[in-house]
Structure 1
Amino acid sequence: MISQTTRVVNPSGLHARPASVFVKCAMSFESKVTARNVSTDSEAKDAKSILAVMGLGMKKGHEIEICADGTDEQEAVSALVQLVESGCGE
């Protein structure tokens, strides 16, 4: 299992559209992927669930920890960190 922390850069945080892009990316990997809002000290949630990701309430500037466990864990974490740092396409 590996994890990495990054910071949300979207001006409106991870609202519905960027959250769906994040979830779609997470679903493309075999590994179990979780996300946690470090800034609010939330529990880790399933990054492949739109409701779970939106429930983390990630706003601009919040730190997010992305963890993956499985055969493609490194690729999953790298792709999701890069996605968050790029603003999830916004």
Structure 2
Amino acid sequence: MVEASIIVKNANGLHARPAGLFSKAANKYQSDLKMIKNGDLGKSCNPKSILSILSLGVYKGDQLTITASGVDEEAAVKELISILEQEID
């Protein structure tokens, strides 16, 4: 299992457009993925689902932890973290 955390810097958080890009990227991977908000396992989602991401309500300043388990886990976490580092309007 691979895990990485990041603080969301996008001024609008993960609204529809960045959530869509994030979900599209997540779906490229075979690994089981999870996104956890502010370290609370009760506030987690499947990043392969845009509706799941949007329902999580991610705003600027939130900490997101991405976990991946599977054959392409390292590549998945690396790409998903890089998407979160971008300023997407």
Q: Which consecutive aligned stretches of 4+ in structure 1 deviate over 4 angstroms post-superposition?
A: none
Partner in structure 2 of residue 17 of structure 1: 17
Query: How do 1:7-86 and structure 2 match up within 5 A?
Result: 7-38=7-38, 41=40, 42-86=42-86
Quote how far apart the aligned CAs of 1:33 are. 1.0
Q: Distance in 2 between matches of 1:31 and 1:43?
A: 20
Q: Distance in 2 between matches of 1:47 and 1:9?
A: 18
Q: Distance in 1 between matches of 2:68 and 2:56?
A: 17
Name stretches of at least 5 consecutive residues in structure 1 with no aligned partner.
none
Q: Normalised by the size of structure 2, how large is the TM-score? A: 0.91
Quote how far apart the aligned CAs of 1:36 are. 1.1
Number of corresponding residues: 88
Residue 18 of structure 2 aligns with an amino acid whose one-letter code is P
Between Structure 1 and Structure 2, the one with more strand by share is: 2
Residue 45 of structure 2 aligns with an amino acid whose one-letter code is K
Name stretches of at least 5 consecutive residues in structure 2 with no aligned partner.
none
**How large is the Cα RMSD of the aligned pairs?**
1.3
